[in-house]
Amino acid sequence: MNAEALGVEAFLARMEGSPCFDVRTPDEHEGGRIPGSVNLPLFTNEQRAAVGKCYKEHGPKTAVKLGLEYVGPRMRHLVEAAEKRAPGGRVLVHCWRGGMRSGAVSWLLSFYGFETAVLRGGYKAFRRWVLDRFEEEREIRILGGMTGSGKTPLLHRMAARGAKIVDLEGLARHRGSAFGALGLADQPTQENFENLLAMALAAIPPQIPLWLEDESRQVGRCVIPKALWDRMRRAPLTLLRRSRQERISQILSEYGAFPAEKLCAAIGNLERRLGTVRMKQACALVRGGETAKAVDILLDYYDPAYAWSIRTPPHPGGQNGQAITDATEEQILGAIRPPD
C-alpha cells in the first residue's frame, strides 16, 4: 500500500486525470497552492500550531501522539471527502515537504482502496519548479499601446489565430491601472499569482514566441517576477496604433457602466498626478453623465506617462536599443504564423 512518489512534472501531468489533495492547513493552502488542487487538511490551523509547539517542547513522539489524537476522529471524513472527489479511485496527495502529513493521508486512502501518488518534496519542491520557470530563456514579444488601445482583447484574438500568449492581467485579476480592479474578483496572493504564471509558461515551449502585454512590473498588488520582468524589458515591442477617439470608446466599453461614485473613487487615486483641479473636473463630468469628456481629461495624464515610459531604459526602445514598431490590429493579426 505504499504510495507512488512522483516528481513535480509527472505529478502535474497526472493531475489532468486525478484530483489533487493538498493536506496542509487551510491557511497554508490559501496563501499558496498548486493550481487545481483541493484542500483536504489533515489538521486545522490551530491543531497544526499545537503539534508544532508540542514537537519543540516535548519531542517528536509526544507530538505524533497529539497528532493522532486530532486525526483519529477525522479519518472517516478524509476518506468520504476523497470518495466524493475521486469516484475513479485514483488520487494525488501533497503536503509541504512530502513528509508525515502526505504520508499519513496517502496511507489512509491506500488502505481504504485508493490508488495514491504523492509529490516528492511536497509543495516546497513545486515552488522551486515555479521559480525555475521564470529563469528559462525564451523568445518574448511585447504588445504595447496607449491606454485604451484594447491590448488585452487583441492579445486574445491573436491567440485565436494561433499565437502563444499569457494574459498577465487575467492571471492577476487586475487591469493594471487606477481602474484595474473594478468589477473583478479579489486578486490572488503573490505566491498564487506566481504559481498560475509558471503553469501558463510551462505550457508553452521556450522556443515558441510568447506574446505578453506591456505592463508595469506591478499589476495591482501582484508583482511580475524579476527574471521574467527583465526579459520583458529587453524584448521587442509592437505598439498597437489606435486613434484617440477609438481609445475613448474602448475605455467607455470597459468602464462606462460602473456607478459614477466608483469611477470617481478610482479617479481620486490619480489626484497627485492629475492635480486637484483636473481630478475634480473629471469627477464632475462623470457625475453629470459626460464620462467620455472625463476620459479625455484622464488621457492627458496617461498618454504622456506611457510615451515617457517607452523612452526610458530599461524599457525596449530606451538606451538598450531594442526594437519598437507600431502597427494596426490588422497588421498584427496578419503577421501571425501558427507554430508548427
Mean per-residue pLDDT, 180-208: 94
Residue of 20, 95, 264, 283 marked active site: 95
Residue ending a domain, among 130, 146, 180, is 130
Helix (H, G, I), strand (E, B) or coil at 134: helix
Give yes or no: residues 165 and 301 share one domain: yes
CB 332 within 8 A of CB 239: no
Number of domains in the chain: 2
pLDDT in tens, 42-99: 999 999 999 999 999 999 899 989 989 999 889 999 999 999 999 889 999 999 998 8
**Residue 1 — very low, low, confident or very high, per pLDDT cuts 50/70/90?**
low
pLDDT in tens, 310-330: 766 554 444 345 678 899 999
Give yes or no: residues 35 and 55 share one domain: yes
Question: Listing from the earlier edge strand, what are the strands of the sheet with 210-213?
Answer: 164-165, 210-213, 140-144, 237-240, 324-327
pLDDT in tens, 207-256: 999 999 999 999 999 999 999 999 999 999 999 999 999 999 999 999 99
Q: How deeply is 135 buried, as exposed, middle or buried, from its count of CB atoms within 10 A (0-12, 13-18, 19+)? A: exposed
Give yes or no: residues 206 and 283 share one domain: yes
Half-sphere exposure of 205 (CA within 13 A, CB side): 4
Is 95 among the residues known to form the active site?
yes
Measured between alpha carbons, how far is 26 from 51 in angstroms, rounded to an integer?
16
Nearest to 189 by CA among 12, 36, 33: 33
pLDDT at residue 201, as a whole number: 98
Domain of residue 10 covers 4-130
CATH of the domain at 325: 3.40.50
CB 171 within 8 A of CB 215: no
